[in-house]
Amino acid sequence: MKIASFLFLFFVSLNSFSQAWFELYPFKVVYSFEDTVNLEYLNVDTVTNPNNVWEIGQPQKTVFVNGNSSPTAIVTDTLMPYPINDTSEFIIEVPVNDFTLYHVYGDYFVDSDTINDYGKIEVSYDHGANWIMISDDTSKYLGWGGDTLSFPWTHDSLFQLTGSSGGWKHFNIHLEHYENVLSYYSIPATTDTALYKFSFISDGNFDNRDGLMFDNITIVSVYAFSLEELEDQNFGVYPNPNSTGTVFFKDKNINEISIKDMQGKVVLTQKYDKIESIDISELPNGVYLLVATVGEEKRSCKLIKS
């Protein structure tokens, strides 16, 4: 049975999302779907789409029988195969300020017809007027020197929300430098709320498959200080804390460095092959987020200037 009775459809004006909303929202939110915690931020829209198939509960289907960390998950109908010609979605709202970035990860289980029936994850920074795909690498941005590049949203490995995953898999999405993508598509960030949309789309052929499930959806502010949870344990800098003014890197294959302050503002960048150190002597004492590009991967760590 749908639990829409405690899933709120948000028709809240833009002005109502104030700085207080940002301060009240936890820096880390986990949707394990074991209870109603944080569900005020999650909307399964059964008003504009009365047939929306997303339900929270324990699946009792052919392939889907349990969530990942508990019996419950959010699933395309807990009992029936997914229907034909359907687009169902749920949206999670989170606050943002001018520089706040988020790291989104969780678990998924997919059982669908390959390609024709599929899931996707999108984000909107203008209250749903424009949506940017973040579950694959098709988004574009202007890179260093004005080159048009595909944006590597996903981290660790690519994931596909179609076909058969054969069990629970993990997805991991970094929203680092999302402002470059907004700029490329001429999309203004006109709201202090980000919307994360999780969709499942089916074609006109009935395949008698279970669909898609999500569990342990986690949204973490990049600038929250549980930064340790975002840090790559195989990447680091020394000395750290740093009072010498020069930072050295353990990895010698770095080709780009970006350092941001706690408001998310880029305060220092450097780009060339095999960066071994960077001068931070001009930076004020404080705590920073250092993001390094190694090949096509991004790695990060907390940097303390003292």
Q: Which of 189, 221, 253 is the last residue of a domain?
A: 221
We report the CATH number of the domain holding residue 66 as: 2.60.120.200
Dihedrals phi, psi of 228, to nearest 5 degrees: -55, -30
Q: What range does the domain containing 275 cover?
A: 231-305
- Mean pLDDT of all residues in 87-94: 92
Distances (CA, A) of 52 to 19, 44, 85, 178: 32, 7, 12, 29
In a shared domain, residues 163 and 279:
no
Whether residue 239 sits in one domain with residue 118: no
For 209-224, what is the mean pLDDT?
A: 83
**pLDDT of res. 95:** 74
Same domain, 57 and 165: yes
Whether residue 259 is contained in a domain is answered as yes
**48 and 153 share one domain:** yes
Does position 188 have pLDDT exceeding 50, yes or no? yes
Answer whether 249's CB lies under 8 Å from 277's CB. yes
Region 36-60: what's the mean pLDDT? 86
102 shares its domain with 249: no
Q: Of 168, 201, 221, which residue sits at a domain end? A: 221
Residue 222: HSE in the Cβ half-sphere, 13 Å Cα cutoff: 27
Asked whether the predicted pLDDT for residue 186 surpasses 80, the reply is: no
The whole-number pLDDT of residue 203 equals 95
The answer to whether the beta carbons of residues 72 and 36 sit under 8 Å apart is no
Q: What is the CATH number of the domain that holds 236?
A: 2.60.40.3080
Residue 140 lies in a domain: yes
Give the dihedral sign, CA 49/54/57/58: positive
What is the pLDDT, as a whole number, of residue 177? 60
Count of residues for the chain?
306
User: Could you tell me if 201 and 239 lie in one domain?
Assistant: no
Output the six-digit token pair for 201.
Answer: 């789309």
Last residue of a domain, one of 171, 198, 221: 221
Is position 226 within any domain? Answer: no
Which pTM does this prediction carry? Answer: 0.66
Residues 217 and 235 in one domain: no
Residue 247 lies in a domain: yes
The pLDDT of residue 18 is 33
How many angstroms separate the CA atoms of 140 and 154, rounded?
14
Q: What are 241-291's pLDDT values in tens digits?
A: 888 888 888 877 888 888 876 545 678 888 888 888 889 999 988 878 787
Q: Do residues 119 and 175 share a domain? A: yes
* Residue 300: other Cβ atoms inside 10 A: 20
Task: Count Cβ atoms within 10 A of the Cβ of residue 89 and give its class: 0-12 exposed, 13-18 middle, 19 or more buried.
Answer: buried
| In a shared domain, residues 85 and 195 | yes
- Number of domains present in the structure of the chain: 2
Classify the phi-psi angles of 60: left when phi > 0, otherwise alpha if psi is within -120 to 50, otherwise beta: beta
